[in-house]
Every structure is written in C-alpha cells, then in structure tokens.
Amino acid sequence: MAEILGLGATHYPGFWMHDDDMSVILKRTLNGKRLDPALKDTRNWPEAMREEWGDDEGAAAAGRHRARCFRAFDEQRRLLDAFQPDFILMFGDDQYENFTEDVVPPFCVYLADTMASRPYDVPESSPFPGRNQWNEPKTATFRHTGHPEGGRYLLNRLNEAGLALPYAYRLRYDRGLPHAFINTLLYLDAGRRGFPHPVVPFHVNCYGGDLIRMHGGLAPPSEAGAEPDPASPSPRQSFELGRAIARALAASPWRVAIVASSSWSHAFLTPRHGWLYPDHESDRARLDELTRGGFRQWDTLTTASLEAAGQHELLNWIVLAGAMTELGHRPRIIDYIETYVFNANRCFAVFDPA
C-alpha cells in the first residue's frame, strides 16, 4: 500500500568544501564587476554580516554553519531509514549542467538503473575548489541506484492526466548527476555509511530566463533580448503538478519519499540587496507560511515575486507543497538557518505521513 513521506532540504556546494573555501560565492561577488563598489567595503554591510565574515572571511562561521545543517541532514537520514522508501522522488534544479543551449525542458524525469557522479571533478575554470572536507580524491565516483519502474509509472499516470513530461535514460552532464541531486545525496550520507535508497531525480527548471544568459548563476548576465528567454514554470503550474504527482503515487504500490532540494533566497540572485546577501524578509515570510499552513496557497505566488527575492529555487519546494497539500500532510520544521555570508538561507522540514 502506498505511503508517502515529504522532506525539504538543500544542496549548497559549499558544504563539501573546506571551511576557508565555503564563502567562495561571496568572495567571487566581491571580486566581480557587478557589485556596487560601496558594498565592497565591509563597513557598509549589515552588522550581522560583518560578524559572520569576521576577520577570517567566514572560515570560523563556516564550520558552525555546516555542523548545524548536517545535524538536520542527519535527522532527515534517520527519518528516511526508518521509513524505508521503495524509492525517493527528488525535485532539484539544473544550473547549466545537464541542460544548456541545446534543450531546456520545464521538467524532466531521469529513468536510470544506476547513476555515477564525480562531484569534485570540477574544471580548472570553475570558481569552486576541487578539494573537499572528506579528503576524498577529486575523481571520486559515487554510485546511486535508480528506480526506472517507479519513474515510468509516474510518467504514465501523469500523461493519462493530461500532463506529458520529458524524460531521459541518459544524463549528458559529464560529471553525472547535477549538483542539486548529488550534493543532497552526499549530505544525507555525510558519515559515509552508504546510501541504499533508490532515487528518481526529477528536474525542475527553476532558473528560467536566467539559465542561459547567466549559465545558471555561474556567470555575469548577458544582455537579455527584447523578447527574453522563457520563464520557469509558474508557481501555479508547479503546485498543480505536485498535486497530480501525489495523486499518482498515492495510487501506487510503493512507499515513496518525496524530497525537494534547494536553499531559498540566493544572494547572487537578489537585486534588492545588490546581489550581496539573501532576502531574509521574504524567506521569513515563506517560513511563516510553511509553519502556519500558508504553503497551501503557494500556487498564488508569482514568478516575478520569486525572482525579485532571489527565490528562484523555491520552485522545487512549491512542487513538494502541492503534493503535500493534496495528501493533507502537515510540515514539521527541523531547522531554519539564516546566513549573510554563505549565499542562501536554508530550511529543513519533514511532512510526516498522515
């Protein structure tokens, strides 16, 4: 009989880096041309940001921030192991990894028996260092099991409901799973005990019109044309898709954990703070909605409001919110962690089976 667990997590690349590398995105912003020169002076920063930055460019704060987040990941791993899902359906975005100029689907389901990933094998041009806090080799390969039968079942039920979605049997990204997926799996196994649960990755195009012109946020934006690239799927479309996914899986024979992986407001996507730090006010509003049940109205959010707050990746959570609304599941916040220095705020939540 079907039973469904919901989890909301994150996938920040900095967590696998050494403490003195973890603020790499902020350092890149400070060295770039996009930032107002006045904001390069720490005296013009919010006091809390100066404290977090400290006299070591955030290195001491990095260890504390990671440890707190990993405690939340450990709790989610405990919940997963206790639930023993037949598979995990994981919503994650793509930042110019598997999808580039040749095709940009709104959604895509990966139907793989096994997936091999090399998350640390970054090119020399990458702003991210290849060294990692586990001291694993740069070419370390991580293998995860898929559940193509569950993926095909979901695709067929959605198709019958009038929602035909793209799918793929092979990843084009030369390092395997895009970071939204592989990082989440690495952090759910931070103790390196092994990860036995099969995974069906479900891509959500969170970056929309910014994907190509900003290379998923990894490059300065090129000029948008008079007619910009298409936006992400709308919050309403994503929410309704989540509801349809829940209906399909509730009628299945499997125990499924639905996981949304993303941080919330991202500094490098937040224009109202000069791309220096996240939009805490908007994230606190989302947290209040999540806590009080207002997530059931996340279909009324707009793409414009999400992008103004740097909350592009919240779309992953909106699909989850639709699914949990359909099932009547209520969230329990494991932790909510704000930061000025480490690019984005993070929420960890569980939606227990009814």
Structure tokens at 195: 């990860």
Print pLDDT tens along the chain (354 aa).
699 999 999 999 999 999 999 999 999 999 999 899 999 999 999 999 999 999 999 999 999 999 999 999 999 999 999 999 999 999 999 998 899 899 999 999 999 999 999 999 998 888 888 899 999 999 999 999 999 999 999 999 999 999 999 999 999 999 999 999 999 999 999 999 999 999 999 999 999 988 888 876 666 666 656 688 889 999 999 999 999 999 999 999 999 999 999 999 999 999 999 999 999 999 999 999 999 999 999 999 999 999 999 999 999 999 999 999 999 999 999 999 999 999 999 999 999 987
Which residue segment(s) compose the domain that 240 sits in?
A: 3-351
Residues 194 and 264: their CA atoms lie apart, in Å, by 28
Task: Determine contact, residues 179/132, Cβ cutoff 8 Å.
Answer: no
Give the Å distances, CA to CA, from 264 to 10, 12, 31, 135, 242.
9, 11, 24, 28, 18
How many Cβ atoms are within 10 Å of 295's Cβ, its own excluded?
26
pTM for this entry: 0.96
Task: Determine contact, residues 242/14, Cβ cutoff 8 Å.
Answer: no
CATH number of the domain to which 187 belongs: 3.40.830.10
* Count of structural domains, the chain: 1
Angle subtended by helix axes 235-250 and 148-160, to nearest 10: 110
Alpha helices in 23-103 (DSSP H): 24-31, 47-53, 59-83
Angle, CA of 230, 8 and 23, to the nearest 5°: 75
3-state class (DSSP) for residue 265: coil
How many Cβ atoms are within 10 Å of 194's Cβ, its own excluded?
6
Task: Determine contact, residues 2/252, Cβ cutoff 8 Å.
Answer: yes
How many Cβ atoms are within 10 Å of 26's Cβ, its own excluded?
24
- 87 membership: H or E segment, kind and range: strand 87-92
Structure tokens at 312: 């592009």
Q: Identity (one letter) of the amino acid at 148? A: P
Residues 313 and 307: their CA atoms lie apart, in Å, by 9
